[in-house]
A and B are shown apart, each in its own frame.
Chain A
C-alpha cells in the first residue's frame, strides 16, 4: 500500500446526507480541561449499521469522545446528535430515553457487583420497560446465550467470573434493550489473543444479525482489521476517518507509524485490509472521497 503522492492528501470525517439519518453526528466539538484542549473543532459522522473503530495515541481523548457522545461529559462547545436527537435540545428526561436506546460496554465490564449476571442484564429492562418478571428472565437467559455464556452464569456474581466472561456479561447487559447503537471501550483489552479473536467474532456476528451500529475504542490492531468497516483516528485534536486502505495512504507521520509499524505488519494489514469491506458487501472504494 503506497503512501499518497499528494502532499495535500487528508481524510475528512463528515459524510454527505441528512445528519438526522446518522447514528452519531458531531459538529465543531471542543473539549477542554483547564487550559488543556483535547478536542478542537472535531467533526464526525457515524453511519447506521457500521462498525467504527476509534484509535489514537494516549491522551488524545478517545474515552472523552465516547463519554461526550453519551452525555457523560458536557462539551465546552459543539453540537452532538445521537440517533437523530440533538443533545442540546432535550431535557433530562428525553435525553435518558435516548440513552436507553444505546448500549455501552465499559472497559472492565462495570457490572453491578451486588447483582448476579442475570439481574445485571435485567436492570435496564426494569428501568425502561414494562416486561413481566417471567419474560425478563427468559430474555436475560437469551442474552446470556447470545453472548456465548453458559446459562449457569446467570446466577453468578461478577466477582465469580473471569475477565473474559465479565466482558461477555457486560456485552449482554449492553444488548439488554436491543439498542440501536453500542459503544465498546477497549473490548478486547485484557483478553488473551484467542479470547480477543473470539470476542471480535462475537461482536461482528451480533452486529450483523442484530443490525446494530457499533462504535469501539480499541488499540487492538487485529480487531481493527477483523471487524471495523471504517476507522476514526484522533489526531491533532481532530479526527480523520477512512477505511484501513485509505488511512494507510495518509502521509501524517503518526499514521505512518501506526499503520505501517511492526505491530501493524504482524496484524496482517495491507494484505487483508480490504477483505473485510468485500466480505461485508461494501466496496473497498468508498462514497466519501478525500477532500
Chain B
C-alpha cells in the first residue's frame, strides 16, 4: 500500500475486515485522515467485525489517537466488533490516556433563547439601572456625610491631593479645552454670519456668538471634554487601586477611601471646572471675534463694543452657575464607577467606558433641566 496520501487501507480476511493504519497520525494530518476515515465509514467498507492493525503507525499524538478511537466507536455503535491491534508499545500509554479522557458525549448545549428570555433580559436590565441609580444616590449620601465631617474639621482636608488634582484636571486640560472652544466660536460665527446675511442681519452674529458661547457652548463643551478626560481618569485610578487591593489596605489602616480618594477629587473638580469654563468662554468669544472681523467687516474694537451691548452679566452667570453642578456630577460618577471595580483589570476598562458615557449623559440631562428652570424663571 505505497500510496503516499493514504493513512488507511482495508482488506477482507474471512469474516473480518482488517483496516491497516499507517503513516504519521498527528494533528498536522488530522484533517486528511479524518476525511479518509469518514469516507471509509460512509462507504460501508466493512463486513462483520473490524480489526484495526496499527503496526504501520510511525508517530501518534493525541489527535491521531482520538481519530482511531472515534472511528472505532462509530463502528461499534453500528454493531460491529472492533479490536485494536499491534500498536507500538511506546504509543500505548498515549492511547490509554486518550481512551480514559475521551469526551463522553457532547458538552451540554445551552437551551436556545426564546422571546421570553429576551423580555426577561430587558426586565433585568431595567432593574439593574434602577439598582445602580439607588447605589449612586447612596454614594452621594455617603459623600455628603464625609464632606460635612471634614468641613467640621478642616484639618482633615487633603490640600496636597486637592491641588494635585486641580493641576491634572484643570491646568493640564487648558490647551485642549481652549482649542476646542476657540474653534467652536469660529464655527458659530461663520455659520451665523452666513445665515444672517440673507436677512441683512449680519451684525447680529455678535449676539448669537456671545449668547450661545456664554450660556451653553462654553460650559457644555468643557464638561464633555472633562468627563472624557478626568471622569475616566478618576475611574481608572480608583479602579486600579481597587484591583491592587490598595483600597482594602487603606480601609484596614482606618482610612476612609471616601475621604482619601473621593473627596479631594470632587473638590478639585468643583474648583477646576468653573475656572476652565471661564477660560473656555473667553476663547470661544475670541474665536467668534476673529471670524467676525474677517467675515462681517468690523474692527475688533467694534466687535467688543457690540458684544458688550449684546450680552448681560446674567448670561455669563447662567452658564457659570452650571459648572460646579456638572463638576459634581462628573467627579461623583467617575469615583462611583471606580469604586465599583471588582477583581479583574477587565472591569476597569468596562467601568471607565461606562463612567464617561454616564458622565456625559447626566451632564446633558442636567443641562436640559437648567434650560427649563431658567426659562421658567425668565432669565
Q: Which chain A residues have a beta carbon within 8 Å of chain B's beta carbons?
A: 113, 118, 125, 129-132, 135, 138-139, 141-146, 151-152, 154-155, 159, 175, 177-178, 205-206, 208-211
Contact = CB atoms under 8 A, between A and B. Distances in A.
Interface of B: 26-28, 30-31, 34, 61-63, 66, 70, 90, 93-94, 96-98, 101-108, 110, 343-344, 346
B94 A138 contact: no
A76 B277 CA distance: 54
Contacts of B98: 142, 146
Nearest to A135: B34
B30 A159 contact: no
A154 B66 contact: no
B101 A129 contact: no
Contacts of B346: 113, 159
Given A146-B97, A175-B62, A205-B97, A151 B27 contact: no
Given A113-B346, A159-B346, A209-B93, A131 B31 contact: yes
Contact of A132 (B34, B70, B96): B34
A50 to B, nearest CB: 16
Contact of A159 (B31, B70, B344): B344
Contacts of A139: 27, 30, 62-63, 66
Contacts of B34: 131-132, 135
Contacts of B106: 141
A145 B101 contact: yes
B62 A141 contact: no
Nearest to A130: B31
A190 to B, nearest CB: 15
Given A139-B27, A205-B97, 4 more contacts: A135-B31, A141-B103, A146-B97, A159-B343
A178 B105 CA distance: 22
Nearest to B65: A142
B61 A210 contact: yes
14 contacts: A125-B27, A135-B34, A138-B70, A138-B103, A139-B27, A141-B103, A145-B101, A146-B62, A146-B97, A152-B108, A154-B107, A159-B346, A178-B26, A210-B97
Contacts of A209: 93-94, 96-97
B371 to A, nearest CB: 42
B63 A178 contact: yes
B193 to A, nearest CB: 50
Nearest to A124: B27
Closest CB pairs A-B (n = 5): A178-B61, A141-B103, A145-B101, A209-B97, A209-B93
